[in-house]
A = this chain, B = another copy of it.
Amino acid sequence: MTVHNEALRDHACLIVHGPDQPGLVAAVTGLITRHKANIVSLDQYSDNPEGGAFFQRVVFHRPELTAAFDEIESDIAETLKPYGMTWRLTDQSIPKRMAVLASTSDHCLLDLLWRHRRGELPVSIPMVISNHTNMVEDVRSFGIPFFHVPSQGPDKSAAEAEIVKLLSGNVDFVVLARYMQILSDNFIQDVAVPVINIHHSFLPAFIGAGPYRKAKERGVKLIGATSHYVTKDLDEGPIIEQDVVRVTHADSAADLQRRGADVERAVLSRAVLWHAQDRVIRNGNHTVVF
């Protein structure tokens, strides 16, 4: 049974992207008006006014949305066909299903669970999966299922297969909340839903392991965190959100880690919120964030 978010009942979100053409916005907004819906918010962006890519996000309110959903979808398909656009329509009252993968660190994981409990994140969380067990009690105290999938030895394929089996069909996206295992290309392909990571540096600075140590060695005056979609290239995927905090010569590597943890959880929470609200559209290796 789908959990509904009552505040967003009868709200739909339409994402449209593809080649920019005159008349697109009018076509979409005309369509919405025809279906007796009221536009709640509308964002659009074209990466080049002359022949670039077009991105649009419209949230509209349509009483009795559920009954009309299929018809609206058909109309969108027909209306947008001549324009050759990619699109998707979602019912905003149906929360996306989010799995969290974690290791021993608690800060990103707990912040997501806590925000979810507060009602800040429009998601359901069917499971947390970890290669460690230290967080089992914390997770279950939020009423969320916890699965332990150890990941030892050089061959991770069995662990990855077990995780894919748990996720398969059960989730709409996956969040790596400081999950300290490098995932294989096969895993990314098999999981077949977006995977969001938090990297503990201001990418592209300090790619890979030990960013706080590297930051200390380089003597930077700000440290950061970056949330991005995972692709087959480590720490190279499309960036959703980044932020930084000021540090000084007096901060040790441990201080950087402690202060960075605050930035990590804030950045990841924002990225997850925006993804859950369909505010993030991938554009090659970039993101459009409305």
Contact = CB atoms under 8 A, between A and B. Distances in A.
A120 B107 CA distance: 12
Contacts of A42: 25, 42, 44
A205 interface: yes
A284 to B, nearest CB: 9
A203 B218 CA distance: 9
A75 interface: no
- Chain multiplicity (copies): 4
Contacts of A32: 25-26
Contact of A30 (B26, B47, B244, B266): B26
Nearest to A250: B45
Interface residues of A, number: 61
A120 B259 CA distance: 10
B44 A49 contact: no
Interface stretch (A125-133, A158-166, A219-227): A219-227
A286 B217 CA distance: 8
A77 interface: no
13 contacts: A22-B36, A38-B49, A39-B44, A41-B45, A43-B43, A47-B249, A110-B114, A202-B205, A202-B222, A203-B205, A219-B285, A222-B244, A249-B286
Interface of A: 20, 22-26, 29-30, 32-33, 36-47, 49, 61, 106-107, 110, 114, 118, 120, 141, 202-206, 218-222, 224, 238-244, 248-250, 258, 262, 266, 283, 285-289
